Amino acid sequence: MSVVAPKSLSQEPLSSESQSDALERVCRYLDTFQLGLKPMLFDVSTSSAQLAAEAVGVEVGAIAKTICFRIKDDPLLVVTSGDARVDVKKLKSLVGGKPKFVDPDEAFALTGYRAGGVCPFALPKPMRIFIDESLRRFPVVYIAAGTANSALPITVDQLVVTTGGEVADLAEYRDCGC
């Protein structure tokens, strides 16, 4: 596993075997694309958009957060900017059904990643993925890499390639409390 070491990186291995497994799974998956994508690990939490932005040293909007929904029996992921909410009406119009947020336990069951580290890579089962076009404001965005202390620098085009996701207008900007 190859990992980029930012200045605030902890050189110690991850404390939880499951976190280490999740990160390893993401790294192996990303390596198959040969894009040179390498996660950064921090000795601080990156479990929210604000915390991730502080750790990486970017504005909150450059953090790409992954949110898990269910439409009837079908799970889906939406990757959006850290300074936005998912506009559920836009998502409903796009998918043709009423989206429901899933709780952290169900998100873990569906993705294999704990809250704060959910990412759209190396999922246990294929699912539909949407990438909000608002992320295109940034040349590089930072997305969790399977753990709540990681961030993966990636372009939106690389995100589309690595996830098979569809780019769509799904952002809503109002005091999102990110």
What is the CATH number assigned to the segment(s) 17-172? 3.90.960.10
Distance, CA of 165 to CA of 17 (rounded, Å) = 29
- Mean pLDDT per block of 10 residues along the chain (178 residues) reads 39 49 95 96 96 98 98 96 96 96 96 96 96 98 97 98 97 68
pLDDT of the residue at 14: 36
Token pair for residue 48?
A: 């929210």
* The residue to which tokens 């596993």 are assigned: 1
Bridge partner residues of 131 (DSSP): 79, 167
| Burial of 133 (C-beta count, 10 Å sphere; 0-12/13-18/19+) | middle
Antiparallel, parallel or unpaired: β 141-143 and 150-154: antiparallel
Domain boundaries, the chain: 17-172
User: What is the Rg, in whole angstroms, of the alpha carbon atoms belonging to the chain?
Assistant: 15
Count CA within 13 A, CB hemisphere, residue 72.
Answer: 3
Antiparallel, parallel or unpaired: β 63-71 and 99-101: antiparallel
